[in-house]
Structure formats: C-alpha cells, structure tokens
Structure 1
Amino acid sequence: MGETGAPTGHMNLTAAATFGRSVLAPVISDFLEAHPGVSVSARFLDRVVDLIEEDIDIAVLPDSSLVARRVGAVRRKMVASPDYLAAHGAPDAPAALRDHAVIAFTGLMPNREWRHRARGRVRTVAVEPRFEVNDALSVLAAAEAGKGVCPALSYMVGDELAAGRLMPVLEDFSPAPVPVHLVHQQGRLVPPKVRAFMDFAAPRLAAALGDLSPEGG
C-alpha cells in the first residue's frame, strides 16, 4: 500500500489470448487509470499456465480448484456466415458437419472433434477441417468470408452475431456453459493490489459475460 492507502506495486495477469484481447485488456486499462500506483504485465496465452512457477498473481480460467471468484460463463457455439448458409444450408445435426466445410480453431477442436450435447449427454463428433488454425481471429475472418462453419466461444462472436455477419447453427446441441473465474494463488495473504483488481474486475467481467450465464443464451 502507498502512503495514501491506495494499492501499489506490480502484478502479473494471464488469460486465454482472445478473451484477454477482447474482454480483459479494456478492464486492465480502466483499472490502471483508477490506480496509478499499480503496473501490470499481461500474458494472453492459449496454454495452461502454472500460477506459482510463472509468478502469476491473477488468472482468468474457465474453471478452477484454486481460490476463485466466479464472474460469469461462456458458451461454445458453432457459427457460419449468411452467404455460406444460403449456398450450402445449415447442418441439422452434429454428424452433418462431415458434409460441410469446417474451419477449426485448434483451441476449441484440439483433436478435430466437436463436443456437443445430445439427449442430456456430452458427446463428440469427429470432423475433417478444410482449414485449421491456432488463431481465433483468422478463423472468424474465414467464417465471415463464407468459407465454412466454425466453432467459437460466445464472447468471441457477440458483435458478429448481433450485426448478422455470422449466424448460429446447431444451437440445440450446444454444450452447457463453462464457468469463468478470476483466480489467485492459494496459501498466501492476498496483497491489496490483487484484492483491488479482483474487486474492480469482477463486476465488469460479469457485465461483459452477463448474457452468457447458464440461464442466458
């Protein structure tokens, strides 16, 4: 803490790459403006991070057994452009993806399988992607250009769906929402800077993910 009681010091934060860029980065910027005594290093990575080994103060994780505060949930969706659907029709069941051009984001299809829900159970269907890439923005750009059907997390395509540039498909087969948590390391006193960020970020992330709760769409 500084002389005025305001939090001070440096923090290391991490989140998945696309979530970090589109959702968390603006929250960090606002936090730094509100707390001039704090600095942040953000690592937006599509891999599992060891909080202790990599000296991470706060992480945004889909689920966790660590000390966590739930801020919302995200849904796995399958989307395509109106032009693609007009030309090829919409798949009416997960198995029909085999007859479509699939654009695979490896972060969501690591084994070339799409996880979905059918008859109350989580199932998988194998797909053979026409285009496979580890960058979410490239996948979405290809989908918007009418090149195929692609998986996405709900926060990745909110604007595109609202604007009609992409359309959801296979909505009846979407898996249950995945909880999103702010987490910090266990077994240590929570520094004021960490507590300040948790308190600042939690309601803002909850607002950003508010329509993605289990009850939402």
Structure 2
Amino acid sequence: MIRIQPGFGMPHLPDFEAWAIFAKVAEHGSFSGAASDLNLSKATVSKAITRLEFRLGTSLFHRTSRKLSLTESGRASLDRATRILAEGEAIEEEITEGAAVPRGLVRLSAPMSFGIQHLGPALAAFFKEYPEVSVDLRLSDTRTDLVAEGIDVALRIGVLSDSSFRARRLFAVRRPLVASPDYLAKHGAPTHPRELEKHNTVVFSHLAAPTSITLHHPHQGEFIARIQGCLSVNNADVVVPLLTGGLSMCLMPEFLIWRELRDGKLVEVLPDWSSELLALYVLTPPGTVRPVRVSVLIDFLSKRLSKAPWAHELPKLD
C-alpha cells in the first residue's frame, strides 16, 4: 500500500473559498459587510483572510479601528479574486438555475442622463417579466471600475477603448448639433462650422476638449470648430430647456432630444456635417460564464432599447 505524504507528490490547490471571501471583503470594505452578504459569521470571514495572508506570507488589508483598505498585494490580487468569485457563482447558477426562474441581485451601472431618461420604464417592464431578480442601479457619468465596485453589467455610451472587459455593441447613438427655430430666426443659421464661434453654444466641461467640436463632412472632410457660450456644464439634462427656450445651440445625444426634434421644438443645424458616431455598449467583467440573472437582464435591455426611435443601426466594423 502506497501512502502519499501531505504536501508530497500532490498538487498544492489554491484556497478558492478564501479568495472568494477576500473579494467580498474588498467589495464591502469590511468583514461584517462581507459576512452579512455571504451569510457567514464575522469570525469565519476573518479566519479565511488570516489563513490566506499566512499562506501568502503578506498582508492583503491594512486594518485600523475605523478603516479597512487594500495593501499593494491586495490591490494586485483583487481582479483575479473577483473573477474566481464570479466564475464560481455563475457555474453554480448555470447548473442549478438553467431551467429555473432567474433570481438574485444584479448590480447595473449606467450614465446618469441615459439612465434617468430610459432605464426607469425599461426596468419596470423587466421586473414584471422577472419578478425574482432585483437590480442595484448606479447612475454616474464617471467611468465605474466594474471589478472594484462589484458591478455585473455596465452600459456605456462612447467610443470604447481597448479593455479586458467583455463588450457588446448594441446600436449607434447620434449627436446632432441642434437649436430651436426661434434661436435660428434671431441669430441666423450657420452655413459652415467656422461660424459656430459667433454663436452661443453650450460647453460640456467634463469633455477632454470642452471648447471645441469636431465635425465631419462627406466631401469637405474634418473641421474643428471653436465654441463658447453662457453655460458650461457637466450634465446634458439641464441643457434641454435652454435649447427649447431659444437661448443657445448644442451638440446633444439624440436619446435626450429625439422628442423635441420630432415635435419641431428643435431642428438640426448643419445637417450635412456630423460628429463622431457613438455606440451603446454592454460591458461585463472578464470571464466565460455569466449568471442567468445577468444574461436575462442584458438580453431584455438589448431588445427593448434597440426598438427606441433614437437607436440607429451600427455601421459594420472594418
């Protein structure tokens, strides 16, 4: 009879449970928050972290009486630990809930203006179809760190840079230059982007180049127009009354002003010139398996939002 001595001739398996607990502690910023979320005792959570730190020979958290924060080793480990937790949850749910009713919490992040305008009605319809799924909706115009904040799904509008996240392009979003008929009657309609510097144009302070607009013409090429105006702002919702009131013009996402364009309260300025076409993306953390509750929310929002009057067909990628 052959006996295998512990630690000899046998793979040294990672402590997956402790890594998953570590990810939860980092997400909540406390042992008690992680314990409550995982339905474990605080002592069990604390022992798992201690066990992991002993095994690694380094601390993962700085501990004080008031604050818990990640060490450099903790920050370096968090991304992969979060993947371990997410993959484990997803595998179990895929097996146990494959034919069952989706249930559980989905953490969803979206841009502020887009979320206010369109996610309320969409989620109301979603909950009627999936009553056992709950959503933690976080609206912000800042780029959310999906892994650090434990986000399951993020909606983003823009030109997506290279990313390790899983990304799905849903549809195109135009940003026409618009003004009211009253504004144009009073100040005149520009015939070329160079004339925009003479007009009162809203400046979006959160953009990389807030005082310029880049427009493209199919024959005349690209032109960078300088702009100035009475309002500099970091959110587009407040701009709509300014536009319909005849006080200014602005480059606006169509999902915010499509009704005003339809009703003639706003008209497109320089219609032969266009800004860079943006897209609505769905982002999820890296990994090959998604929980059922996440998949049904993504599919529902994709189908519903693609029917919106401002959602345009995406051009083919080269």
Q: What is the TM-score with the length of structure 2 in the denominator? A: 0.62
How do 1:6-25 residues align onto structure 2 when only pairs under 5 Å count?
6-25=101-120
Tell whether the 8 Å contact from 2:258 to 2:310 is kept in structure 1 after alignment.
Answer: no
- CA deviations 1:103-147 (Å, max 9, x no partner) are 223356752211211457554322122211223121111111110
Mapped to 1, the partners of 2:167 and 2:151 lie a distance apart of 14
Mapped to 2, the partners of 1:170 and 1:129 lie a distance apart of 18
Partner of 2:254: 154
RMSD of aligned alpha carbons: 2.2
Moved more, 57-66 or 70-79: 57-66
Q: Tell me the SS of whatever aligns to 1:157.
A: helix
- CA 1:121–1:42: 2 relative to 1, 3 Å: farther
Q: Determine which structure has the larger helix proportion and give its number.
A: 2
Q: Tell me the SS of whatever aligns to 1:174.
A: coil
Q: Tell me the SS of whatever aligns to 1:208.
A: coil
Q: What is the TM-score with the length of structure 1 in the denominator? A: 0.89
Unaligned runs of 5+ in 1: none
Partner of 1:193: 293
Given residue 55 of structure 1, which amino acid in structure 2 is its aligned partner? Answer: G
How do 1:38-77 residues align onto structure 2 when only pairs under 5 Å count?
38-62=133-157, 63-64=159-160, 65=163, 66-77=165-176
- CA deviations 1:143-201 (Å, max 9, x no partner) are 11110111101111100000111111022111242121212111252001001111111
Given residue 154 of structure 1, which amino acid in structure 2 is its aligned partner? Answer: E
Partner of 1:135: 235
Unaligned runs of 5+ in 2: 1-92
Partner of 1:163: 263
Given residue 129 of structure 2, which amino acid in structure 1 is its aligned partner? Answer: A
Partner of 1:204: 304
> Number of residues paired by the alignment?
215
Partner of 1:104: 203
Q: Does 1:177 align with 2:277?
A: yes
Mapped to 2, the partners of 1:107 and 1:13 lie a distance apart of 23
Identity of aligned residues (%): 32
Shift of 1:20: 1.0
- CA 1:106–1:26: 2 relative to 1, 3 Å: farther
Mapped to 2, the partners of 1:168 and 1:103 lie a distance apart of 15
Q: Tell me the SS of whatever aligns to 2:237.
A: helix
Moved more, 182-191 or 38-47: 182-191
Mapped to 2, the partners of 1:213 and 1:67 lie a distance apart of 21
Runs of 4+ in 1 over 4 A off after TM superposition: 1-4, 107-110, 119-123
Q: Tell me the SS of whatever aligns to 2:143.
A: coil
Larger radius of gyration: 2
Given residue 49 of structure 1, which amino acid in structure 2 is its aligned partner? Answer: T
Q: Tell me the SS of whatever aligns to 1:136.
A: coil
Given residue 149 of structure 2, which amino acid in structure 1 is its aligned partner? Answer: E
Q: Tell me the SS of whatever aligns to 1:181.
A: strand
Tell whether the 8 Å contact from 1:104 to 1:139 is kept in structure 2 after alignment.
Answer: no
Tell whether the 8 Å contact from 2:305 to 2:311 is kept in structure 1 after alignment.
Answer: no
Mapped to 1, the partners of 2:182 and 2:284 lie a distance apart of 44
Q: Tell me the SS of whatever aligns to 1:83.
A: helix
Q: Does 1:35 align with 2:134?
A: no
Tell whether the 8 Å contact from 2:173 to 2:310 is kept in structure 1 after alignment.
Answer: no
Q: Does 1:88 align with 2:187?
A: yes
Mapped to 2, the partners of 1:32 and 1:110 lie a distance apart of 40
Tell whether the 8 Å contact from 1:74 to 1:209 is kept in structure 2 after alignment.
Answer: no
